[in-house]
Structure 1
Amino acid sequence: MDLAAIRAYAAAARQVADPDASAAAGAQAPVAGAPGFGDMVMNALSETQAVMQASESLTAQNAAGQAELVDVVTAMAAAEVQLETVIAVRDQVIRAYQEILRMPI
């Protein structure tokens, strides 16, 4: 599996979550104690990356004869579901942004 896209999303989320960058852009500070959208994106991406790395690790272990095929299939299915969820959220965010752009001023 290609992790380059997930790493790119993680880098973008880090830029969103950077308080210096948001302050420079004139964004309002988040409510104290409440996780921001950037934090939620970062958490989702890091979880997805961890699940995918675990899946790849189990695949390599299976190739070496150290892991069961059932474990590999389960890990691959979990990684696929996690990645599809991230992609679905990304698509919804893009659609919402496009709707905002279409709104009359």
Structure 2
Amino acid sequence: MSTPALASSAYQTAARLMQQAAGQEPPKVNAPDFGAMVQTAVEGVVDKGRDMDAKAIGLMEGRMDVVDVVTAIAETETALETMVTVRDKVIAAYEEIMRMQI
């Protein structure tokens, strides 16, 4: 999520909470669906993995260049590392929320 979108989402959440505290009905917000965002990201990583597999097979068959295969491997590795980092951040945020006193 980009910084402006994150800031907008935070602002809308704060406004909704203020209205709830004042006893007003919060306006409908078209917030992005977190599950859909995760699904899209995972599908992107899987697609990169499939592309890398196809290029590696093409290299073994003599149809692909080594540079293309190495580039595909690097892109897949970067996408997977990014996904793992996001997962770690989500888990850390969840653990922090669970430690909060109510």
* TM-score, with structure 2 as normaliser: 0.69
Matched AA of 1:89:
V
**Distance in 2 between residues matched to 1:101 and 1:72, nearest whole Å:** 43
3-state SS of 1:104 partner: coil
Say yes or no: does 1:51 pair with 2:48.
Answer: yes
3-state SS of 1:56 partner: helix
Aligned positions, number: 75
**Distance in 2 between residues matched to 1:72 and 1:82, nearest whole Å:** 15
- Give the aligned partner of residue 94 of structure 1: 91
1:104 shift after superposition? 1.0
Structure 1 unmatched ranges of 5 or more: 1-29
Matched AA of 1:90:
R
Give aligned-pair identity as a percent. 43
1:93 shift after superposition? 0.1
Runs (4+) of structure 1 moved beyond 2 Å? none
Structure 2 unmatched ranges of 5 or more: 1-27
Aligned-residue Cα RMSD (Å) equals 1.3
3-state SS of 2:32 partner: coil
**Distance in 1 between residues matched to 2:90 and 2:52, nearest whole Å:** 27
Pairs within 5 Å for 1:1-105: 31-32=29-30, 34-105=31-102
* TM-score, with structure 1 as normaliser: 0.67
